Structure 1
């Protein structure tokens, strides 16, 4: 005779995160994935508008908490909490900065920065810099990334004064100070030796760099190659030049935090235990595809083409932007790129079309419009000539390759 199963106890768990940030959202996703892949029964409390509010958290009538300890207010509010708590946040070089009595799941800042730095070196760059955030308690994680960058540069023989000039914190983001922040950032960018690779401590800061370069007419990535941290899809939609970014192990952090709390709810204790989670890898896009070019005219032309190719620009408009005659620009392109300016424009449109088709975000007709092809028929003709297939065939091939992987 089969015995009836005892109903599983449901635990009430609070998630204290600011889910308006991609970092926090992906940690929450990791927690959710742990619940889906196990038989754990949790009733989750999360603020409706995704902001973490701490008022009254000491009266939470639940069984456990997973919280973002990068927020100093969270750290303060949960000191002495009677419930099992798992802390999630930045890694620290000084062990004294970790909460002493809690298990702590950390993103490995040293490996994040090292991965970005190695990628820029591999792009053929010799000058490097870091765009950080103003010093503040809530930005402790950014200062840890500064430390990681400092160690890497010191190991490469840079003096303290040289490293100091390579790190720029800028202003906090706010509407009243925005113009001033961009002006100061542009001044710093112009002072850097070129070409230079810049690591931004977040994708949001990387977007600031891209905006400043576009305003100042600094070619990306020929003169300034930019890599962020977070791989935030929202940031990618807000930039004309696709942004390379380090992918943090945030979902793994969430799964690990949920696993640790699950064990704590059944009596396990992990006071002072620290688990560092390495990055997943890099999403390499246009902002770090640095190709050394001898001609500044070709640099500026490619910078303009990357921004406006899909808006139907012509060779004459590129030459006007660069400030040389069409015939001179064509000669520079033949020497450096072994192609015409029109072919460069077409190549960029084709690359964008391939990326859109691979993601299956739009139909072939919509892709043709978004990429600036004069008609769907013309896009078909370009695909057949350059790739030997139709857009639909390319899409099917890309999807089958993804499925096989």
Structure 2
């Protein structure tokens, strides 16, 4: 039986989702025994103390949050497999549970661009890898369209808590100074809640003046926010499963051939904090609202034309100016986005999802999905869902 020490923050949804994936793997290939060690043991016991305890317990592996000066090679030298969660920066000599953070940033930028925004901001941390790289991806995607990003970045979590809670604050002053309407991406849901609370205190309207998007899709935090926070979902539970698979391999191979586990962003989950379309063109705003409210029907461009007093050529020209897409392509991309969401959130078959979207030809939607995602719907589901990924 493998004995595994877990040193992670189970008070956050990311940590609990990782644990779900790890325990699922252990139930299938174990049994494993777990010791949940509070994160403050890093400070009170240090690496030497944790190593001593691990040897006394005869632990086979450790998954945890460690500082970058923790000398984790000492665990490997003692034959104990260790995988680090990169909660500050990536480790160099042991495998990491990391993420495609830049891709999440690009996903957030694309989401806001489709809503017609021309002003953008990012709120996060300078010295934490997952925040820094999400901001970089956000900025790089927007730069392709000629847009710049307004930044507010902290150097510590303590600083971020002070600046949103007490008023007046530098954060509230920054929010008031931003051009409106503006699309703001926060590095995670915690910081997204800071923004929604700071906006409430300073009487900045969400989403009318500031649309706010977080990352992690923590149901508790997103629904605690006022208004509820839109967020980018991650395949964290699948990441936990792959972490356990790697840990099992390291234990059996005596710490050979290890690699990083990459948690991928999967989709944007829209809630009230971004439920608006930012364009000064009244008719295109009407068209966008109609498309999003009716995407689960078999929409055609002619259906959109009936909603606005514009000729087809005029609609196409103005729509492209606001969104960067022809009307047909915008509908196509949004339909694939909704199809993807149902793939990951339901157990419906490809045919049933197509029917839910008002489409009679499931083979055609599967072909279109492959054009966008580069794989079949079944392959995509296997990639991101544990139950399908054995």
Trace 1:65-76 onto structure 2 (pairs within 5 A). 65-69=61-65, 71-72=66-67, 76=70
For 1:402 and 1:265, locate their aligned partners in 2 and report how far apart those are by CA, in whole Å: 35
Which of 179, 182, 187 is the aligned partner of 1:193? 179
- Tell me which residue corresponds to 1:45: 35
- Tell me which residue corresponds to 2:19: 28
The yes-or-no answer on 1:168 pairing with 2:162 is no
- Tell me which residue corresponds to 1:208: 194
- Tell me which residue corresponds to 1:273: 259
Q: Could you give the per-residue CA deviations for residues 145-203 of structure 1, whole angstroms, max 9, x where no partner exists?
A: 22223322333335xxx54xx11025744776554466322211122121111000011
Please say which structure displays the higher CA radius of gyration.
1
For 1:12 and 1:53, locate their aligned partners in 2 and report how far apart those are by CA, in whole Å: 18
The yes-or-no answer on 1:57 pairing with 2:53 is no
For 1:181 and 1:53, locate their aligned partners in 2 and report how far apart those are by CA, in whole Å: 34
For 2:226 and 2:163, locate their aligned partners in 1 and report how far apart those are by CA, in whole Å: 23
- Tell me which residue corresponds to 2:269: 283
Consecutive unaligned residues of structure 2, counting only runs of 5 or more, are 282-344, 350-390
What root-mean-square deviation, in Å, do the aligned CA atoms of Structure 1 and Structure 2 show? 3.0
The yes-or-no answer on 1:80 pairing with 2:74 is yes
1:32–1:131 distance in 2 versus 1, CA, 3 Å: same
The yes-or-no answer on 1:148 pairing with 2:137 is yes
1:66–1:257 Cα contact (<8 Å) kept = no
- Tell me which residue corresponds to 1:6: none
Q: Could you give the per-residue CA deviations for residues 383-403 of structure 1, whole angstroms, max 9, x where no partner exists?
A: xxxxxxxxxxxxxxxxxx967
TM-score (ref. length: structure 1): 0.60
- Per-residue deviation, 1:213: 1.6
- Per-residue deviation, 1:102: 2.4
Q: Could you give the per-residue CA deviations for residues 206-255 of structure 1, whole angstroms, max 9, x where no partner exists?
A: 11111122222222112211100111122134223111001122111110
Q: Could you give the per-residue CA deviations for residues 9-47 of structure 1, whole angstroms, max 9, x where no partner exists?
A: x111111212122222211111012122x1312111112
The yes-or-no answer on 1:16 pairing with 2:7 is yes
Partner of 1:58, secondary structure, is helix
1:108–1:176 distance in 2 versus 1, CA, 3 Å: closer
1:101–1:183 distance in 2 versus 1, CA, 3 Å: closer
1:221–1:290 Cα contact (<8 Å) kept = yes
For 1:31 and 1:46, locate their aligned partners in 2 and report how far apart those are by CA, in whole Å: 13
Which of 105, 111, 123 is the aligned partner of 2:97? 105
TM-score (ref. length: structure 2): 0.63
Q: Could you give the per-residue CA deviations for residues 338-367 of structure 1, whole angstroms, max 9, x where no partner exists?
A: xxxxxxxxxxxxxxxxxxxxxxxxxxxxxx
1:236–1:101 distance in 2 versus 1, CA, 3 Å: closer
For 1:177 and 1:184, locate their aligned partners in 2 and report how far apart those are by CA, in whole Å: 6
1:200–1:206 Cα contact (<8 Å) kept = yes
2:105–2:136 Cα contact (<8 Å) kept = no
1:101–1:150 distance in 2 versus 1, CA, 3 Å: same
Consecutive unaligned residues of structure 1, counting only runs of 5 or more, are 1-9, 92-96, 296-400
- Per-residue deviation, 1:270: 4.3
For 2:168 and 2:14, locate their aligned partners in 1 and report how far apart those are by CA, in whole Å: 25
1:90–1:52 distance in 2 versus 1, CA, 3 Å: closer
2:7–2:64 Cα contact (<8 Å) kept = yes
2:164–2:194 Cα contact (<8 Å) kept = no
